[in-house]
Structure 1
């Protein structure tokens, strides 16, 4: 069982599959390494695909009484160092994208690019903060599952919907532990100065973060890239894996 050791001694579980340019996936609040089953199967023939459990999630260390989101970027860096990975694309899903961006900014010697999936990565910017807050105010009016998956998918794919709901039951850390990641978020200048290739990966039908908000972030972060997947919901990686995998492969190929 591969384990990396975080700076504070926490054991971080990860898996490595395939060969080729490296992609490391970072799960969101309800996921863990196994959430990427559709990505691993599709991409491992072309890429080195790394999946990880942040502390408190999946098979990583869950013994600590409290989980601080500020530690999550260090968990990712520990995996990069354990496997001596360089020129990596970090792909974060939702709140996990915040950890990915912070890890990338801390170790640009190992990270070539960061793809923010359905997230602005905790960017510190007053206009963007206001837009995200407005989107969230609309999203909370919906049941949690409806924010993440489309109604059509829930009706047509009841088994996959049930499995999606079960993913989070393996985790000790909760959404509140991840929220702390947004504290001391990077500025646009921080990102531009780092030289890291930043891509905003958005779903056209995302009920949590609107495409308009993501487009505005892309406009503000000079040199960034934007990939919008038609008709895709917030949990695009799960509901629309073929489109998602194609988008990720394209981002990796452009680096």
Structure 2
């Protein structure tokens, strides 16, 4: 339980376990505690770091407005303070955008980035059209139905309630983060970086379709693709067994 300074902004993070580093970067409704099912499973073999981006969880939330462009620096401040090298950054949803930019800017700290249920803000017209089409379908659903399956909501009411409560600890909201992907990296820049890139998705993701993820993998030459059958957008929460197994295999595959 520590604090790093990101250009004067206090960033809360936690470090657990020992071994090759995995850094978990939450999405718009999460924070460090959202990863409880990952930390417990992964810390016996890995150094697991959870980060609260500014405006989330226990990090500084006092600023009058939030700029998603600052998030990569929050991640890097933690890596620098802990002197982490060779890290795998695992970004969930919007957290993947910050994770990818952090990795591209500091390859001395980061070996790979897993883009979980996200394309990481990669700037490409073909992918942009596909993402927009997916979003147009997703907004037809209630927010919770975009994130968790109906079966999980019905069978796991306590975990569904806890999932909803997670976001109440955050000050920053999606409406504050509209410029998050502005000026995103091109496919060419991502490929040229030499970063180990994995697209980690779910076949039943209602926010980002499996077809869109497959296309991104096809365009980003040399990337990995892990599409989990039956998994929804919030696989880390609903099917932690599958998510944790995928993250472990990705970590082991990175040199």
SS of the equivalent of 1:85 reads coil
**Alignment partner of 1:35 is 2:34:** yes
Query: SS of the residue aligned with 1:250?
Result: helix
**Residues 1-255 of structure 1: pairs in structure 2 closer than 5 A:** 1-7=1-7, 9-255=8-254
TM-score by length of 1: 0.99
> Could you give the per-residue CA deviations for residues 209-253 of structure 1, whole angstroms, max 9, x where no partner exists?
000000000000000000011100000000000000000000000
In 1: Cα distance, 2:153 partner to 2:52 partner: 26
Measure how far apart 1:178 and its partner are.
2.8
Instruction: Write the deviation string for residues 13-61 of structure 1: whole angstroms up to 9, x where unpaired.
Output: 0000000000000000000000000000000001000001000000000
Deviation at 1:179, TM superposition (A): 3.0
Secondary structure at the residue paired with 1:5?
A: strand
Aligned to 1:181, the other structure's residue is in SS state: coil
1:250 and 1:238 map into 2 onto residues whose CA distance is 18
Listed as ranges, the gaps of 5+ residues in structure 2 are none
Partner SS, residue 91 of structure 2: strand
Question: Aligned to 2:246, what secondary structure does the other structure show?
Answer: helix
Using the TM superposition, give the Cα deviation of residue 181 of structure 1 relative to its aligned residue in structure 2, in angstroms.
1.3
Q: Does the Cα contact within 8 Å between 1:89 and 1:113 map onto a contact in 2?
A: yes
Q: Give the Cα–Cα distance (whole angstroms) in 1 for the partners of residues 101 and 242 of structure 2.
A: 26
Unaligned runs of 5+ in 1: none
State the secondary structure of the residue aligned to 1:247: helix
1:180 aligns to what SS in structure 2? coil
What RMSD, in angstroms, separates the aligned Cα atoms of the two structures?
0.6
Cα separation, 1, equivalents of 2:30 and 2:177: 12
Cα distance in 2 between the residues matched to 1:63 and 1:148? 28
1:200: Cα distance to partner? Answer: 0.0
Cα distance per residue 1:175-211 (max 9 Å; x no partner) = 1223321000000111111110000000010000000
Of residues 177-186 and 239-248 in structure 1, the stretch that sits farther from structure 2 once superposed is 177-186
CA contact (8 A) 1:31 1:167 kept: yes
- In structure 2, the residue corresponding to 1:24 is in which secondary structure? strand
SS of 1:192's partner is helix
Q: Distance in 2 between matches of 1:169 and 1:72?
A: 20
Q: Is the 8 A contact 1:95 1:178 kept in 2?
A: no
